[in-house]
């Protein structure tokens, strides 16, 4: 298996961008969004105070504009025609002014220019002018969601990478369950499971495996994020290094990154024994997820999936335990548009990949959520994740 996106698919992605902006009267597009840059070139980088951008123009020509410290990285990783650099930020001449000079040299200034933002932005201390400020007389047309829309529907190559991600997330989760015992701290268990899964992943895939996951994203991983016991009632809990106790309900998460693409696997597990209350809420949670599975079909609005699930919450008097929508698209990012939310009218299409994760959160008792990754086919959904969902299989002994 070729665990990467081909150069031909990269070229087709850039062609699609040029075709769309051409219909809007533009000959070139400047992209500052790091995820969009990766999607169009395969170039992952750590976005800091140093601005970076991709310019696509002409007959599918492209160049990266990056700090000099990225030159070798860009030349090795990016599917582009040129990698152009500036010395450093802020430098004697601001990088945005140098970018303006390059655009002028390539005869792209002075005519309508498409961009995904007015300029570079970063919380890492960056400050600088907009494209319009450094290109006086050039009309800049903003299309901030253009590439994001393209990413909503995955290609067969993308789906293959997401499937591979799920395969190793499944192993990491199996090891997580195997090593979870009363009296052990969560951080040691998840570290052991994640290391062993990543070790096996590397040994199996060998030189074909490249995470390309950007900053701090690599290998296979599984953990709890302190969704343990009553603390599991916090859907986005932060790790506290809790110790497992007999009877705890556990919220888990597992996945891996393969050439930038990830998957989502979450389960509700129990340590050694399960109380009657835990069983009752667990069963409701599985029912909710089954309803979502039944309603995700091509041609159906995302909002209707959430609406069907919300009807079950209402019918079973569970709304006080509701906290979030059914799920979200995913791929290069953990959360992508569209969302299985009552307010999202996007029509579901074949090739969309969703997490499906309605949950129940009971303060003082615990949280109950499975998450599975599914791909929409021409007629239904195909489950990418495949870890057991039944209660008896999820008791840690």
Residue-wise pLDDT for 181-211, tens only, equals 999 999 999 999 999 999 999 999 998 889 9
What is d(CA 28, CA 236) in angstroms, rounded to the nearest whole number?
40
151, 154, 156, 162: CA torsion to nearest 10: 100
Q: Is the pLDDT of residue 261 over 70?
A: yes
Confidence of residue 162 (pLDDT cuts 50, 70, 90): very high
Whether domain 156-396 has CATH 3.90.230.10: the reply is yes
Give the pLDDT of residue 213: 76
pLDDT tens per residue across span 316-375:
999 999 999 999 999 999 999 999 999 999 999 999 999 999 999 999 999 999 999 999
β-bridge partners, 301: 347
Half-sphere exposure of 307 (CA within 13 A, CB side): 9
Which fold would CATH assign to domain 7-151?
A: Creatine Amidinohydrolase; Chain A, domain 1 (3.40.350)
Q: Is the pLDDT of residue 216 over 60?
A: no
Q: Which residues contact 386 (CB under 8 A, 6 or more apart)?
A: 166, 170
β-bridge partners, 61: 57
Give the pLDDT of residue 59: 84
Global confidence as pTM: 0.97
* Domain regions of the chain by residue span: 7-151, 156-396
């Amino acid at each position: 298996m070729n665990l990467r996106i081909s150069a031909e698919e990269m070229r087709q992605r850039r062609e699609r961008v040029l075709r769309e902006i051409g219909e809007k009267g533009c000959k070139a597009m400047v992209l500052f969004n790091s995820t969009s840059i990766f999607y169009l070139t395969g170039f992952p980088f750590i976005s800091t105070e140093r601005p970076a951008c991709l310019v696509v123009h002409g007959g599918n020509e492209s160049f990266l504009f990056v700090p000099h410290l990225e030159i070798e990285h860009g030349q090795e990783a990016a599917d582009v025609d040129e990698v152009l650099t500036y010395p450093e930020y802020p430098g004697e001449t601001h990088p945005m002014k140098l970018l303006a000079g390059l655009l002028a040299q390539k005869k792209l200034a002075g005519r309508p220019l498409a961009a995904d933002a007015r300029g570079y932005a970063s919380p890492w201390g960056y400050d600088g002018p907009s494209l319009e400020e450094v290109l006086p007389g050039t009309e800049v047309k903003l299309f901030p969601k253009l590439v994001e829309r393209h990413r909503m529907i995955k290609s067969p190559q993308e789906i293959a990478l997401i499937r591979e991600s799920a395969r190793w997330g499944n192993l990491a989760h199996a090891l997580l369950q195997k090593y979870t015992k009363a009296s052990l701290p969560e951080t040691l268990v998840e570290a052991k499971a994640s290391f062993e899964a990543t070790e096996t992943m590397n040994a199996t895939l060998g030189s074909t495996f490249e995470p390309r996951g950007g900053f701090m994203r690599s290998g296979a991983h599984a953990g709890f994020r302190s969704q343990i016991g009553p603390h599991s009632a916090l859907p986005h809990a932060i790790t506290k290094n809790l110790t497992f106790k007999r009877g705890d309900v556990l919220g888990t998460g597992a996945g891996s990154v393969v050439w930038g693409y990830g998957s989502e696997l979450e389960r509700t597990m129990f340590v050694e024994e399960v109380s009657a209350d835990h069983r009752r809420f667990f069963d409701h949670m599985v029912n909710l997820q089954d309803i979502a599975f039944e309603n995700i079909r091509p041609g159906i609005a995302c909002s209707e999936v959430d609406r069907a699930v919300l009807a079950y919450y209402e019918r079973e008097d569970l709304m006080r335990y509701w906290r979030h929508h059914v799920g979200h698209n995913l791929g290069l990012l953990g959360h992508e548009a569209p969302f299985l939310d009552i307010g999202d009218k996007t029509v579901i299409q074949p090739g969309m990949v969703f997490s499906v994760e309605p949950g129940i959160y009971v303060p003082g008792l615990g949280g109950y959520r499975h998450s599975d990754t599914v791909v929409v086919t021409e007629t239904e959904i195909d489950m990418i994740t495949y870890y057991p969902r039944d209660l008896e299989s999820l008791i840690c002994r």
